[in-house]
Amino acid sequence: NAGVTQTPKFQVLKTGQSMTLQCAQDMNHNSMYWYRQDPGMGLRLIYYSASEGTTDKGEVPNGYNVSRLNKREFSLRLESAAPSQTSVYFCASTQNYGYTFGSGTRLTVV
Amino acid sequence: KNEVEQSPQNLTAQEGEFITINCSYSVGISALHWLQQHPGGGIVSLFMLSSGKKKHGRLIATINIQEKHSSLHITASHPRDSAVYICAVHPAQFVNQFYFGTGTSLTVIP
């Protein structure tokens, strides 16, 4: 099925560890996004990529890096995880105002 | 400052009731989305609106661009409608941005 695929679905990290969240879409969308969702705060934009080869910071970029490897893939990296990064992470892609989300990654940093 | 405000924040209804969730926004927009998130689940786009009204099954979404207001209605509510409903707008000024409401948590009791 066409859509946005995120991996992993769950992850537990120790403080200071690093990891990369993967996201891929097969809808030929230009724009891709990484959000975090925390209780009572709604979705907040971490980074976005308007097109292959470009990335821009969103509302809460500190502690994260991204790579738009090609048109399909947009990865989010935590270089040194902190407990404040415990959250649910969603990748999304859009084209012509249509909006598709991945199923989310539940990350816990202990 | 939150560009998108939703009300109510929480809503409990008896099965069969007619439900309305409201969304007000403060910026000019190109489109508005209604999203649904079941507990522990991913995020699904229900509607994308730029004017008028859309209907899908028991769900109806309306938008009034002049008043900067949208409503999501659920007719004959069912326990499976229990979810968080999120309003998101695509601001006209920023092509690649979305502003999100903090969501309305709906519980439908059998």
Instruction: Specify the pLDDT at position B1.
Output: 59
Instruction: Specify the pLDDT at position A68.
Output: 96
Whether pLDDT at B90 is above 70? yes
Over range B60-84, report the average pLDDT.
97
Q: Which residues of B touch A (CB under 8 A)?
A: 30-31, 33, 35, 41-45, 48, 50, 86, 88, 90, 95-98, 100-103
Average pLDDT of chain B?
A: 93
Instruction: Specify the pLDDT at position A95.
Output: 80
Over range A16-37, report the average pLDDT.
95
Averaging pLDDT over each range in A15-29, A90-104, B31-45, which range is the top one? Answer: A15-29
Strands B104-109 and B10-14: parallel
- Local structure of B80: helix, strand or coil: helix
Structure tokens at A52: 């292959």
> Which chain A residue lies closest to B101 (C-alpha atoms)?
A42
Instruction: Specify the pLDDT at position B58.
Output: 97
Instruction: Specify the pLDDT at position A11.
Output: 96
Whether pLDDT at A4 is above 70? yes
Over range B47-63, report the average pLDDT.
95
- Do A98 and B48 make contact, defined as CB atoms within 8 angstroms? yes
Whether pLDDT at B69 is above 90? yes
Amino acid at the residue B11: L
Q: Nearest-CA neighbor of B48 among B24, B72, B67?
A: B72
CA distances from A73 to A5, A32, A41, A44, A67 (A): 10, 9, 27, 20, 8
Q: Which of the 8 DSSP states describes residue A83? A: G
Q: Which of B42, B90, B101 sits opposite A104 (nearest CB)?
A: B42
In the structure, what pLDDT confidence band is assigned to residue A1 with cuts at 50, 70 and 90? low
In the structure, what pLDDT confidence band is assigned to residue B97 with cuts at 50, 70 and 90? confident
In the structure, what pLDDT confidence band is assigned to residue A2 with cuts at 50, 70 and 90? low
Summarised one tens digit per residue, pLDDT across range A80-103 is 999 999 999 999 998 877 789 999
Percent share of chain B, pLDDT over 70: 97
